[in-house]
Chains A and B, each alone.
Chain A
Amino acid sequence: MRAAADAHVDSLAALEQESIYILREAFSKIERLAMLWSMGKDSTVLLWLARKAFFGHVPYPLIHIDTSYKIPEMIEYCDRLVRELGLELVIGQNTKALAEGMNHKRGRLVCCTALKTEALRQVIEQHKFRAIIVGIRRDEEGSRAKERIFSQRSQNSEWDVADQPPEFWDQYRTDFPPGEHVRVHPILRWTELDVWRYIEREKIPVMQLYFAENGKRYRSLGCAPCTSPCDSSAESVGEIIAELSATKASERSGRAQDQEHSHAMEKLRLRGYM
């Protein structure tokens, strides 16, 4: 029987290698590829994995969906990384909805759909992307748990959850009809704790917002009006891991859009939300 510490090392190595395999599979099989980048911990790990998969290179553009309501530190972090790493960044924004004054007070599902789902749909259409790499995980939320690694979307970005194609023996759906696109989920099988353990193992820099200040820290990042910090004293990655190992609170408990309706995320995601 191996020690518990070793067990984590092996488990992380297996997850990392699988994610690299998936990223390479998408790159090999699909022409117009892009990666959604929200600057959060999951996207940051995903970017790191891409650089591992492609030996320091990021051979496709990153997409940032700019709702104009993101926490300001997130935008600063984004600009700095793009500059430092020489990344190709595509910005998606539903300018029409913003001009008409869209905000969360009109209903969080309405706002998310307009500023995130619709903005993403526009970017995909404009750039004719055929695959979008997204850093979602099964342990985040019930409808994400149902996802495939390669998950097809109709022309209108809709997700037919009741009739998903089979996916086994690492054979992914890499061919699909014109007009449709596919969402690629390389870290689908990771947990929140895996993400933090990996950040610790690889010493990946993450945003300061994740660390406690005055007894509060962000566990999940999003738009300022709909994201609230949780009580925490964790000031380092190690302390976050210790905190998460003990907690039973849900990761997205600080995300207001999830709480709006019993099946809020499912409803958002059927229409193309990430």
Chain B
Amino acid sequence: MSPVAFVVVGHVDHGKSTLIGRLLVDTESLQDGRLEKVRQICREQRKPFEYAFLLDALEAEQLQGVTIDITEVRFRWRERQYLIIDAPGHKEFMKNMLSGAAHADAALLVIDAGQGVQEQSRRHAAALRFLGIKEIAIIISKMDVVDYSEEVFHAIRVEYERFLASIDVQAKGFIPVSAADGENITCPSSQMGWYRGPSVVEFLESLCSVDGVTSRALRLPVQDVYKFDERRIIVCRVESGHVSVGAEVQVWPSKQRAVIRSIEHWPETADVATCADVKEAVGFTLDQQLFVQRGDVITDPAHAPRVANFLAASVFWLGRAPVRASGRYKLKLATLERDIEVFSIRRVMDSGSMEVRTGEVGIGQNEVGDVVLKSSRPFVFDIASEIPATGRFVLLEGYDIVGGGIVLEAEDLYRRSYAEGLPKSTSISPVHEAVTPADRAAAYGHRGHVIWLTGVPGSGKSTIARSLERGLFSRDIKAFIVDGEKLRFGLSADLGFTELERREQGRRAAEVALLFAQAGLVAIVALVSPFNADREYARTLIGEEHFTLVYLHAPLAVLRERDPHDLYVRAAADYPIPVPGLTAIYESPEGVCLRFDTSVESIEHVSHAILDRVLAIIR
């Protein structure tokens, strides 16, 4: 087990370093020379003994009496190792505080009993929440200064608890201490009989080491590809899941698949003991020579990552210059790097004053804001709440990290590729509905779905669609046909029959079908949809699990005979509308769920086969 890492945060001068110094002394964790060295420095500076100097090693820190940068020290208490991260409390050093706190399992947030809740007390709590640290104890320090008053302690506790509730943080406890007198550090206080909770060390003992890898989904961000010898070794860190020889994997964004042929080690005889809670830096070879590069993500095929040109995120801003809409930065997410543009800024919170502003154009230093970022090359990522390591990123301006971000859920954004152009409105942001898909499914008795019927004119799409609609309706399932022709009277009245216009027709049909499916209905799309790219667009937009692609076909002789719109007759007479499959392209569909030759199989048989499959999915 790795040491339990905890960060000590709070407003400047509230006694963080003194608390840690006292912890080190009382747990007898100091090296021999250390205490003597600090005594010598204090003598040189003609000051009384300062516990804080044990941590604040830099000369400038000692002269000014403030912590500038983070320090890490260890101590052992009752057979357990602890790693203390001392973070600066001064506003100017927020970036250092974040650097320290980012790899902590827990936090002690220190508030001076005499001064009460201050700006950084609030800001730091907001930062801990942003970093996802949940094990937080509030230390009310310098209780000796207020004569160990229970009233003072309670007043601060009530005020601060109210604040924490407003940012959705729950503290694990409030501990009154005096580091100077050593009260409630390692053992219960003799001065504060009214307090019955744990001492600082007892609180730390109650923590479990929080370990990273929790999800079953495999996530291997590609770090590099080595060719030192005849082997072509792909190196990645296992951010989530498990790698094994013989497993099939998929590379993103290319979607190519391969099988892991070998896992490489040096020395070759190495006894490889993989620990469940260690993120392993692995090297492996694949059974096929795929083009793989740094920034790609390798996953198991069952758990696809999100791939999109947009990211909706909550951003913690450290830069001196504020973030502006249409500002350009570099984004680093695991090993992926992208040049990005800020597409929109929705909501900004000043974590110090807790003031929330909407419709803002900028996010200032130390503020948190919700943004949408865009890139011309797609991002490969996850939602931070599902897989943290591939759901968070940093932003760079020039050479400097100026912000951190966590990816939010925003399916409306992630499922569209926007190949034909971006939304023209930059004030849009992901909407969260009051009635969820699960609510609808419970009320209707089934989930929403899209049945997509593709095929050349005359292949039987409209006929099958009507039969399906009737069949679903008679089973109490809400269904509706999205017919290509019907769209052309209204929504697509502006479209003709060029290749570009057919593609746009496909996109609109997909968007309409998605809305029906989101409303909880089964949408039946009857559309020639001649291009694979458009059918794929619909599949990605609507989601694999809600999408059934059906390919209907028949021999040309049968099509000519049916000829519902006299297209084949007119085509023969050089009529200017191209007929897909005859005088225009119809790409034979890929990724089809079901296919039927309607010259052989009856309408009843085809609809039953489709219904069987769909009913099993939606109910």
Which residues on A are within 8 Å of B, measured CB to CB? 2, 4, 6-7, 9-11, 13-14, 17-18, 20-21, 24-25, 27-28, 51-57, 59, 138-139, 141-143, 145-146, 148, 161-162, 164-169, 171, 173, 175-177, 189, 191, 248-251, 253, 262-263, 266-267
Q: 20 A-B contacts, Cβ less than 8 Å apart? A: A10-B2, A14-B279, A17-B279, A28-B223, A51-B266, A53-B281, A55-B266, A59-B228, A142-B58, A148-B99, A162-B68, A162-B69, A164-B99, A166-B95, A166-B318, A175-B396, A253-B33, A262-B40, A262-B44, A262-B59
Tell me the bound Cα distance from A184 to B68 in angstroms: 21
Is B57 interfacial (CB-CB < 8 Å)? yes
Besides the known contacts A2-B1, A21-B237, A55-B228, 15 further A-B residue pairs in the complex with CB atoms under 8 A apart: A6-B1, A10-B1, A21-B279, A27-B224, A55-B226, A55-B231, A146-B71, A148-B99, A161-B69, A165-B401, A171-B393, A253-B32, A262-B37, A263-B57, A266-B58
Binds A, one of B73-81, B197-205, B345-353: B73-81
Taken residue by residue from 234 to 277, chain B's Cβ proximity to chain A (1 for < 8 Å, 0 otherwise) reads as: 01010000000000000000000000000011110000010101
Q: Which B residues are in CB contact (< 8 Å) with A7?
A: 1, 81
Q: Which B residues are in CB contact (< 8 Å) with A9?
A: 273, 275
Closest to B224 in A: A28
Is B592 interfacial (CB-CB < 8 Å)? no
Tell me the bound Cα distance from A199 to B44 in angstroms: 40
Are B275 and A173 closer than 8 Å at their CB atoms?
no
Q: Which A residues are in CB contact (< 8 Å) with B40?
A: 262
Shortest CB–CB separation between residue B537 and chain A, in angstroms?
33
Are A250 and B318 closer than 8 Å at their CB atoms?
no
Shortest CB–CB separation between residue B550 and chain A, in angstroms?
45
Tell me the bound Cα distance from A139 to B83 in angstroms: 11
Q: A9-B273, A249-B32, A253-B33 are in contact. Are A177 and B223 (CB under 8 A)?
A: no
Are B81 and A56 closer than 8 Å at their CB atoms?
no
Q: Which B residues are in CB contact (< 8 Å) with A262?
A: 37, 40-41, 44, 59
Are B74 and A191 closer than 8 Å at their CB atoms?
yes
Are A21 and B401 closer than 8 Å at their CB atoms?
no
Is B489 interfacial (CB-CB < 8 Å)? no
Are B399 and A249 closer than 8 Å at their CB atoms?
no
Tell me the bound Cα distance from A41 to B459 in angstroms: 76
Is B206 interfacial (CB-CB < 8 Å)? no
Shortest CB–CB separation between residue A262 and chain B, in angstroms?
5
Are B31 and A165 closer than 8 Å at their CB atoms?
no
Q: Which B residues are in CB contact (< 8 Å) with A6?
A: 1
Contact of B278 among A10, A165, A266 (CB under 8 A): A10
Q: Which A residues are in CB contact (< 8 Å) with B226?
A: 54-55
Q: A21-B237, A27-B224, A55-B226 are in contact. Are A14 and B58 (CB under 8 A)?
A: no
Shortest CB–CB separation between residue A8 and chain B, in angstroms?
9
Tell me the bound Cα distance from A54 to B60 in angstroms: 40
Which residues on B are within 8 Å of A, measured CB to CB? 1-3, 30-34, 37, 40-41, 44, 57-60, 68-74, 79, 81, 95-96, 98-99, 101-103, 223-224, 226, 228-229, 231, 233, 235, 237, 264-267, 273, 275, 277-281, 283, 294, 318, 332, 392-394, 396, 399-401, 404
Closest to B294 in A: A28
Shortest CB–CB separation between residue A55 and chain B, in angstroms?
5
Tell me the bound Cα distance from A54 to B227 in angstroms: 10
Tell me the bound Cα distance from A142 to B59 in angstroms: 10
Shortest CB–CB separation between residue A161 and chain B, in angstroms?
6
Q: Which A residues are in CB contact (< 8 Å) with B99?
A: 148, 164, 166-168
Q: Which A residues are in CB contact (< 8 Å) with B224?
A: 24, 27-28
Tell me the bound Cα distance from A146 to B548 in angstroms: 57
Tell me the bound Cα distance from A21 to B335 in angstroms: 11
Are B223 and A11 closer than 8 Å at their CB atoms?
no
Closest to A20 in B: B281
Tell me the bound Cα distance from A93 to B246 in angstroms: 52
Q: Which B residues are in CB contact (< 8 Å) with A145?
A: 57, 71-73
Q: Which A residues are in CB contact (< 8 Å) with B70?
A: 146
Contact of A14 among B2, B74, B332, B393 (CB under 8 A): B2
Q: A9-B273, A250-B31, A262-B40 are in contact. Are A165 and B95 (CB under 8 A)?
A: yes
Contact of A25 among B2, B3, B223 (CB under 8 A): B223
Shortest CB–CB separation between residue A184 and chain B, in angstroms?
15
Closest to A143 in B: B57
Closest to A28 in B: B224
Tell me the bound Cα distance from A161 to B30 in angstroms: 24
Shortest CB–CB separation between residue A66 and chain B, in angstroms?
29
Shortest CB–CB separation between residue B223 and chain A, in angstroms?
5
Are B98 and A166 closer than 8 Å at their CB atoms?
yes
Are A55 and B283 closer than 8 Å at their CB atoms?
yes
Q: Which B residues are in CB contact (< 8 Å) with A21?
A: 223, 237, 279, 281
Contact of A161 among B68, B102, B273 (CB under 8 A): B68
Q: Which A residues are in CB contact (< 8 Å) with B57?
A: 141-143, 145-146, 263, 266
Are A250 and B32 closer than 8 Å at their CB atoms?
yes
Are B72 and A189 closer than 8 Å at their CB atoms?
yes
Contact of B102 among A24, A52, A139, A168 (CB under 8 A): A168
Q: Which B residues are in CB contact (< 8 Å) with A146?
A: 57-58, 69-71
Are A168 and B223 closer than 8 Å at their CB atoms?
no
Closest to A53 in B: B281
Closest to A2 in B: B1
Contact of A165 among B101, B102, B400 (CB under 8 A): B400
Tell me the bound Cα distance from A149 to B98 in angstroms: 15
Contact of A11 among B3, B30, B101, B332 (CB under 8 A): B3
Tell me the bound Cα distance from A145 to B3 in angstroms: 17
Most A CB atoms within 10 A — which of B58, B98, B277, B279? Answer: B58
Tell me the bound Cα distance from A25 to B279 in angstroms: 15
Tell me the bound Cα distance from A55 to B230 in angstroms: 12
Q: A11-B81, A250-B33 are in contact. Are A24 and B281 (CB under 8 A)?
A: yes
Q: A25-B223, A52-B266 are in contact. Are A166 and B74 (CB under 8 A)?
A: no
Tell me the bound Cα distance from A21 to B40 in angstroms: 40
Tell me the bound Cα distance from A168 to B32 in angstroms: 32
Tell me the bound Cα distance from A20 to B224 in angstroms: 12
Tell me the bound Cα distance from A189 to B396 in angstroms: 25
Are A171 and B332 closer than 8 Å at their CB atoms?
yes
Are B31 and A249 closer than 8 Å at their CB atoms?
yes
Q: Which B residues are in CB contact (< 8 Å) with A11?
A: 1-3, 81
Q: Which A residues are in CB contact (< 8 Å) with B102?
A: 168-169
Q: A28-B223, A146-B69 are in contact. Are A55 and B281 (CB under 8 A)?
A: no
Q: Which A residues are in CB contact (< 8 Å) with B2?
A: 10-11, 14
Are B32 and A13 closer than 8 Å at their CB atoms?
no
Are A161 and B58 closer than 8 Å at their CB atoms?
yes
Q: Which B residues are in CB contact (< 8 Å) with A169?
A: 102, 392-394, 404
Are B59 and A266 closer than 8 Å at their CB atoms?
yes
